[in-house]
Amino acid sequence: MMNTGEAIIRDINTNTDFEVRSLDEMSFNESTLQHPWWYNLKYLVAGILFGIILVKSEVISWFRIQEMFRLESFHMYGVIGSAVVTGMISIFLIKRFNIKTAYGEKIKFYPKKFHKGQIYGGLIFGFGWALTGACPGPLFALIGTGALVIIIALLSAIAGTWVYGLLKDKLPH
């Protein structure tokens, strides 16, 4: 009796979890392997490299973002364009040669579903991008560069995410 009850509760939890997450394509947990916490340190290292690249390429510069939106420089388009081409070739090779993860798991890809949020949310994010000169990655990076007032922008972005979560069912999707 106890066991059945627990199983049902566990089932409900996993199902809800799946439903909630399946609505948000960016939040899948692809790996089914369980690792101790320090396995996450490799993502810290990946983040450090990404942070260095963001600073050195000047893509976190508010000035570079303004240039991009005024079509006054090729720099940002070159960075994003060549990043996409590199990513495309990488994913093609992973699929073509069935490359596995470092732990031998199959690498999974999830198709994204279209919904109106990509239009409305996309435009809203674009407004914010041109104001702060930063998308989410650069918000973290800018704090690292010593622009400490960006901590407020990051907290505000977290608040924005929270308000989205609150209003989600009332918004057109």
Write phi, then psi, for 36 (nearest 5 degrees): -65, 160
CB of 87 to another protein, least distance (A): 3
CB of 103 to another protein, least distance (A): 7
Q: Does 73 bind another protein (CB under 8 A)?
A: yes
Q: Which of residues 101-160 bind another protein (CB under 8 A)?
A: 101-103, 105, 107-115, 117-137, 139-147, 149-150, 152-160
Cβ atoms < 10 Å from Cβ of 161: 11
C-beta separation of 141 from 87 below 8 A: no
Q: What is the DSSP letter of 133?
A: S
Q: Which of residues 36-65 bind another protein (CB under 8 A)?
A: 37, 39-65
Q: Interhelix angle for 117-132 vs 150-167, to 10°?
A: 160
Chosen residue from 7, 8, 11, 25 binding another protein by CB under 8 A: 25
CB of 97 to another protein, least distance (A): 12
Q: b vs e for 73-89, b when ≥16 Cβ sit within 10 Å of the residue's Cβ?
A: eeebeebeeeeeeeeee
Q: Which is nearer to another protein, 1 or 102 (CB)?
A: 102
First and final C-alpha spacing in the chain: 41
Q: Does 26 bind another protein (CB under 8 A)?
A: yes
Q: Does 7 bind another protein (CB under 8 A)?
A: no
Q: Which of residues 84-103 bind another protein (CB under 8 A)?
A: 84-88, 90-91, 93-94, 99, 101-103
Q: Does 78 bind another protein (CB under 8 A)?
A: yes
Nearest to 53 by CA among 90, 25, 86: 86
